[in-house]
Amino acid sequence: MKKIVECVPNFSEGRNRETIDAIAEAIRRTSGCTLLDVDPGASTNRTVYTFVGDPDSILEGALAAARVARARIDMRTHKGEHPRFGAMDVCPFIPVRGVSMADCVDIARTFAQRAAEALKVPFFLYEEAALQDYRRKLPDIRHGEYEGLAERLKDPRWQPDFGPAEFVPQWGATATGARMFLIAYNVNILGTANQAHRIALNLRETGRGNDQPGRLKEVKGMGWFVDEYNLAQVTVNLTNYRVTPIHRLFEEVGKEAAELKVGVAGSEIVGLVPLESILMAADYYIEKENLFIYEEDQKIRLAVERLGLNSVAPFEPDKKIIEYIVAEPPDEPLADLSLRGFIEEVAARSSTPGGGSVSAVLAALGAGLGAMVAKLTYGVRKFESVDAQMRAAIPPLHETTRSLIAMIDADTNAFNDYMEGVRMPSGTPAEKAARTERMQQGLKTAVNVPLQTMTIADSAWEALCDTARHGNPASRSDIQVGARALETGIWGAYQNVVINLEGITDDAFKAETLKLADAIADRARKKMQEVLDILETKRTS
C-alpha cells in the first residue's frame, strides 16, 4: 500500500498572484508531491494549499513552500480578515493512507526543526504534535495574532518549540502539527441565516457557551446565507470525522430543521474528502434501509444521493475523493491482457507466466463462477426465500475473485528478489554471504506469494458451499466447474510453495509454511467434494 500524507499549509497572502503561483510551483516541482488544490481568498488575504505525497516527499514539499514564503511574504504590510500570526501561518500534516498519526507527528516535528534552522524563524507545535497540553489548540497559540507576537515571545511560557525566541517582523511565527483530516461540510437549509445559525449552535461542540454545549463532538460551525445558491447553510468543520461523521451531522441537521419547520436541500463538501468518510455514510444508509450494496462505486453513489451532494454543484468522485485523485493504475500487465493474449503468453517460449500465475487464474475463475451464480440467484422472484443466503455469499465470492486477479502478476514478479540475488557479486566471503542472504529472502518471497494465493482462495469455500446449497439449480454445472477450478488453483499454488521451499535453509520457516499449506490444500480437497456432494443431493432429491 502506497503511503499518503496530506499537507494543508495556509499562507498569509491571497492577493499577489505571483507569490501565490510561486508557492504552488515550489510544491509542484517537489518530486513525489501532487498539488491538489490552491484556494486564495482576497478578503482574508490568505491562500490554502492542499498537496499529498509519501512522508519524505511531503516534508520536502512543505520546506520548499516555506522557503518561497520567506523570500516573498512580508507580514509588516499584511492585513486580512482571517486570524493569523505568520507568513506561513499554519502547516498541518494529516494521515491519509498507510501512515499513522504518530508518523505525522514525526513529520511535523522534523519539519519544524529543519524549517526553523534554515529560515531562522520561530515554530510552534500544535494538536497531536504539541509538546505541552496548553499549546495543543491553534487559537491558543495564535492568541493576539501577529500584532501581539513580539510581546508574547517575551513570556517564558510562549517560547517557540524551534527557532529563535525573538520577533522576526517579516515572518512572524508558524504553527505546525499533526491532526485528523478536516472535512469542510455545508448542509443546505431552505430558510434564513438565523435559522441555520440556530441549528449550528445546537450541534457544534462549543454550543452557545460553557453552560450550553452542543450535541456533537469535534464539530465547529455556524450558519450563513449564500446569495449565489439563494439558500442558507449550516457550515461546519468536522475536525474528526470518525467521531462525528458526515452522515451523523446531516441527519442531526435534518432533525433540527424539522423542529423549525424548514426544509433541508442536500449538502456540499468543500474541498476534498477521504474515501473512508464517504463509505461510512454509505454503510450507515445500507444498514438503516436494509440495502444490499457491496461494490464501492455503488456505495459512493448511494452516499452522494442520500446526502444530496449534487445539490449545488456536481460531486465528481475522481475530483473530490483524495484516494481517487492520487490513485495510480495497478501494474498488472498479465491481468490486463486479453484472454487470448494471456494463453499465448503462457504458451510462449519463456518461463513466465508459469504455473503459479495460471493457478491464480484458475482459482479466480472458480470463485468468479460462484459469484456469478449467487448474483444470478439473488433478486429473482422465485428464489426470494434464499435472498438472505445469497446476500451473505456474494460479497466474499466477489472480493475473493478480485483479490486473486492481483495474484496473477504477483506470482510472476515473485522471483525478482531471488534473481537480483543471483546477479550479485560473489568474489569475496562478504559478497558471497550477502548474495546468499538475498537469494534466501527472494526464495521466501517466491514461497509467500503462492501461499497468499492459497489463503485468499481458501476464504471462498463457505460461500461457495452455500451457493451450491441455495443457488439456482439450473446453474449446477457452473458451481461444479467453479469448485473444481478453485481446488485446482489451490493445488497448483501448493505445488509452487513446495518446490520453492526446497531451496530454503531456514528449517523453522519451512516447517511452519508447509504445515499451513498442507492444511489449506487438504481443506480444499474436502470442500470441493462437499460442494459436489451438495449438488448431487439436490439433483437426485
Nearest to 376 by CA among 475, 286, 485, 479: 475
Cell matching residue 20: 501565490
353 prior amide bond cis, ω within 30: yes
Distance CA 114, CA 131 (A): 17
Distance CA 32, CA 418 (A): 28
Nearest to 9 by CA among 59, 55, 44: 59
Cell matching residue 101: 498519526
Enumerate the H helices of 156-274 as residue ranges.
193-203, 246-259
**Catalytic residue, candidates 82, 103, 106, 143:** 82
Q: How many CB atoms lie within 10 A of CB 168?
A: 20
398 is catalytic: no
- Counting Cβ atoms within 10 Å, is residue 109 exposed (0-12), middle (13-18) or buried (19+)? buried
Contact between residue 463 and residue 396 where contact means Cβ atoms under 8 Å apart: yes
Q: Which amino acid is at 17?
A: R
Contact between residue 68 and residue 22 where contact means Cβ atoms under 8 Å apart: yes
The secondary element (H helix, E strand) that includes residue 94 is strand 88-97
82 is catalytic: yes
Cell matching residue 167: 520577533
Enumerate the H helices of 423-506 as residue ranges.
429-458, 461-470, 476-501
Distance CA 310, CA 511 (A): 57
Distance CA 459, CA 450 (A): 15
Three-state DSSP class for residue 268:
strand
Sole residue written with cell 507569490:
19
Sign of CA dihedral 143, 146, 152, 157: positive
**Catalytic residue, candidates 89, 161, 409, 411:** 411
* DSSP codes, 292-351: ---SHHHHHHHHHHHHTTTSSS---HHHHBHHHHS------TTTTS-HHHHHHHHHSSSS
Cα–Cα separations (whole angstroms), residue 326 to 53, 75, 258, 443: 9, 34, 39, 33
Cell matching residue 158: 510562549
Cell matching residue 343: 494463453
Active site residues: 82, 411
